[in-house]
Structure 1
């Protein structure tokens, strides 16, 4: 759900249902849907963020970010070939994109990649991903390499400009890092250990 007080609206993405974006007035009146239109149907529309007069939507299963106007009409594609974008936050003018397929990308206002953190190309191929399987077949938390992400599912920026990433995994995982600093990030949960966030993997172009 995304409150849009500047538009006098509230938007709700129906990612696990009909693949639509529903629009409501501030008073709760239904204003219609935001269909993808000529560029094809949404497939698991998930996170949304307002950026001025546009809304940026993470169309996860299509691997793209699209922009919509206040009437819910598709304006265009901001970025394609993303790794399952499913959570968004603005850090000044930079868009932070948590990508379910194991990476965090930073994009400029035109959708150009300016940073990639913790990309793990092999994560989604692991048996039991986003978790792991024990020798007996039980679902267990994976042992995520210190320099990589596993399954980002929420992102936020704190007042110091640091990025917080929460991962979709048994027991949870919470990582904090500052892309403006060269030092290590910190895994705040499940255990406090240092994490290198230099871009070791491919994050796409």
Structure 2
């Protein structure tokens, strides 16, 4: 999910309408992207009001204007890089098949833009890397290898760039967030998480994290836990969260949590898909 300056929320969708646009009350405005995507996954909107979207099945990252016109494509459609990755029904076996980090892309997941206009991409389900491009789409460098050590990844699932141009990488299957400077140097990591999927840093430097363990966690920029909630007090037949997959915060501090309702394994989780939580203080 991404939010533009006109307070419209852009939701990536795995069905026939890849990008759906709503107002902040959930009223549908429009959709676009048909013909561009195999499976839209992650997005960001930069200060120049362009939206960048990853596609983890056709192995591309595309820059659009906010009307849905494609302006630039990174990667070669349907041509994954060589990493040893073998796709299969078992996610963990597929991740374990990755033998080395590769060039862009093999199932890229997340994208964000630095204050200098550089493009950072997390890559991905079939790779173990972060790639840095300049604004024209020229690859500058990449870093990362499969594994549990610092600067190693097991499913880099999303990333964000903060106001200091630090790169926050959601290292999902290592259950942590790793933080790097803009040159790819490791700074620190947060491990008080379980299978995080996405993060958002708001204008007050509050960090919001969605986790597959059916919860949302909120931290200060320095890693102090402020709040955490999930399915406590909810009946198992009607949980608050099923599989949080994306997160966003608007200018009022209201929180949006997106979930995957139908998985690639054709498991229908029956989730509410998107929920909005209003800030109360």
Fold shared per TM-score above 0.5: yes
State whether residues 48 and 88 of structure 1, in contact with CA within 8 Å, keep that contact through their aligned partners in structure 2.
yes
Q: Cα deviation per residue 1:17-73 (whole Å; 9 max; x = unaligned)?
A: 111111111111111113279625211111111222212111111111111111122
State whether residues 166 and 172 of structure 1, in contact with CA within 8 Å, keep that contact through their aligned partners in structure 2.
no
How far is the alpha carbon of 1:7 from its aligned partner? 3.1
1:117 maps to 229
Q: Distance in 2 between matches of 1:81 and 1:99?
A: 11
How far is the alpha carbon of 1:119 from its aligned partner? 4.5
What pairs with 1:130-141 in structure 2 (closer than 5 Å)?
A: none
Q: Where does the alignment leave 5 or more consecutive residues of structure 2 unmatched?
A: 1-109, 263-269
Aligned residue among 118, 132, 135 for 1:9: 118
State whether residues 7 and 70 of structure 1, in contact with CA within 8 Å, keep that contact through their aligned partners in structure 2.
no
Matched, 1:33 2:133: no
What is the DSSP-based 3-state SS (H/G/I as helix, E as strand, rest coil) of the residue aligned with 1:61? helix
Matched, 1:73 2:165: no
State whether residues 45 and 59 of structure 1, in contact with CA within 8 Å, keep that contact through their aligned partners in structure 2.
yes
State whether residues 25 and 31 of structure 1, in contact with CA within 8 Å, keep that contact through their aligned partners in structure 2.
yes
Q: Distance in 2 between matches of 1:68 and 1:40?
A: 9
Aligned residue among 249, 258, 267 for 1:166: 258
**TM-score, scaled to structure 2:** 0.51
1:24 maps to 133
What is the DSSP-based 3-state SS (H/G/I as helix, E as strand, rest coil) of the residue aligned with 1:39? coil
2:206 maps to 94
What is the DSSP-based 3-state SS (H/G/I as helix, E as strand, rest coil) of the residue aligned with 2:153? coil
- Tell me how large the CA RMSD over aligned residues is: 2.2
Q: Distance in 2 between matches of 1:33 and 1:179?
A: 38
Q: Distance in 2 between matches of 1:144 and 1:13?
A: 33
Q: Distance in 2 between matches of 1:118 and 1:156?
A: 17
Q: What is the aligned residue count?
A: 157
State whether residues 98 and 154 of structure 1, in contact with CA within 8 Å, keep that contact through their aligned partners in structure 2.
yes
Give the ranges of 4+ consecutive aligned residues of structure 1 lying more than 6 Å apart after TM superposition.
none
